Amino acid sequence: MDTRRTLLVDAFAAEPLAGNAAGVVPEADGLTADQMRAIARELAVSETAFLLPSETADRRLRYFSPEQEVDLCGHATVAAHAHLREAGAIDEGEHTIETNVGVLGVEVESDGSIWMTQEMPRVERVEVDYERLGNALGIDPAALRDVGADLPVAVASTGLPFLIVPVNFLQNLGSADPNDGAVEAIADEHGVAGIYAFTFDALGADSTLHARAFAPSVGIAEDPATGTASGACGAYLREVGAFEDFPEEMVFEQGHFVDRPSEVRVRVAGDVRVGGHAVTSLDGRLAVPPAEEDDIVEA
Q: Out of 42, 47, 67, 131, pick the active-site residue.
A: 47
> How high is the pLDDT of residue 299?
37
Judge contact between 66 and 44, C-beta under 8 A: yes
Q: What is the pLDDT of residue 297?
A: 41
pLDDT range class, residue 149, cuts 50, 70, 90 = confident
d(CA 169, CA 142): 11
pTM of the full structure: 0.90
Instruction: Report the C-alpha dihedral over residues 292, 293, 294, 297, rounded to 10 degrees.
Output: -140
The more confidently predicted of residues 294 and 137 is: 137
pLDDT at 134: 98
Predicted local distance difference test score (pLDDT) of residue 1: 81
184 is catalytic: no
Whether 267 and 114 have beta carbons less than 8 Å apart is answered as no
Q: From the CB of residue 89, how many other CB atoms can be counted at a distance below 10 Å?
A: 12
Give 218's DSSP letter.
G
